[in-house]
Amino acid sequence: MCPGVKAAWPICLGYIPIGLAFGVLAQKAGMSWGQIALMSSIVFAGSSQFIAVSMLANGATGWAIITTTFFVNLRHLLMSSSLALKLQNAHRGKLSVFAYGVTDESFAINTTRFLSGEWDLNRALVVNHTANACWIVSTVAGGFFGHLIPAHSFGIDYALIAMFICLLVFQLTRRLAVLTAMIAGILSVALALIIPGNAYIVIASVLAATLGVAIGRRLNSMKRRPDGSGEDHA
């Protein structure tokens, strides 16, 4: 099988229950399958789609929905910035197609593959668009017959959480990354309890990475000190 499709299967597994649930909700809100397909193909951002559908059902204004969508999805700016590091001087047309499919899940998969080497923009593109196809099919299928499938079957609700756990493990390759992840985890939980919405993701990540860089620099300067007061005795 093509490596991009193979890499995308955990995403697809996780998208099926969420996509079906979204389809059921959208259909209950009075959306046709065409409208579901349109939103899933043009927006392609799970949580913001759920929010948009409930806002539509509650008669929210277009501006309110669009503004909310922007803020809910702003975290992708960080993910694309981080991916840009691995895609220096890549073809801008391809990058523009790739950008469309940057989600939490595809970011997690692609960033891990780039870290281990043996990955390129073409394969990353296949991951994004395989995931996108699964999302569109699952959401539309949910609109048709999602209500027939019992929710929470076979622990499938845990698929994406388990995927994120494993991908986080793959990122913990050096002590500074472990420290940064710990800071981000504590900050995100604290902020999630204080502020509504999902701004906690961006704020906690930015603060944690900044602290990580600061701590890394400090440790390095201690190591380089000529009196040997740092940990490096070489």
Partner 1 sequence: MPETYVIIVLAMGLVTYTPRWLPLFYLTQYSLPGWFKEWLSLIPAAILSALLLPELVTTGDPRHLDLLRPELWVAVPTFIFARLTQSLGGTVVVGMGLFWVAGKLL
Q: Does 133 bind partner 1 (CB under 8 A)?
A: no
Name, in order, each residue with C-beta under 8 angstroms of 67's C-beta and a sequence gap of 6 or more.
none
Cβ 36 vs Cβ 19: under 8 Å: no
User: Using CB under 8 A, which of 2, 28, 145, 165 touches partner 1?
Assistant: 165
Please, is 77 exposed, middle or buried when counting C-beta atoms within 10 Å of its C-beta (0-12, 13-18, 19+)?
Answer: exposed
Closer Cβ to partner 1, 197 or 228, answer by number: 197
The per-residue b/e assignment along 132-143, b for 16 or more CB within 10 angstroms, e otherwise, is: bbbbbbbbbbbb
Q: Does 145 bind partner 1 (CB under 8 A)?
A: no
Closer Cβ to partner 1, 43 or 147, answer by number: 43
* Among the residue ranges 73-81, 129-137, 141-149, 222-230, the one whose residues contact partner 1 (CB under 8 A): 73-81
Please, which of residues 24-43 interact with partner 1 by CB under 8 A?
Answer: 35, 38-39, 42-43
Residue type (1 letter), 43: V
User: Using CB under 8 A, which of 87, 133, 149, 219 touches partner 1?
Assistant: 87
User: Using CB under 8 A, which of 78, 137, 141, 219 touches partner 1?
Assistant: 78
Q: Does 74 bind partner 1 (CB under 8 A)?
A: yes
User: Using CB under 8 A, which of 69, 130, 132, 139 touches partner 1?
Assistant: 69
Q: Alpha helices, DSSP H only, in the chain?
A: 3-28, 33-42, 46-57, 62-73, 76-84, 92-100, 104-115, 121-145, 159-171, 175-194, 199-224
How far is 165 from 54, CA to CA, in rounded Å? 29
* Among the residue ranges 18-26, 79-87, 131-139, 143-151, the one whose residues contact partner 1 (CB under 8 A): 79-87
User: Using CB under 8 A, which of 5, 149, 192, 219 touches partner 1?
Assistant: 192
CB of 192 to partner 1, least distance (A): 4
CB of 19 to partner 1, least distance (A): 16
Cβ 184 vs Cβ 35: under 8 Å: no
User: Using CB under 8 A, which of 50, 54, 137, 171 touches partner 1?
Assistant: 171
Of the CA atoms within 13 Å of residue 43, those in its CB half-sphere come to 24
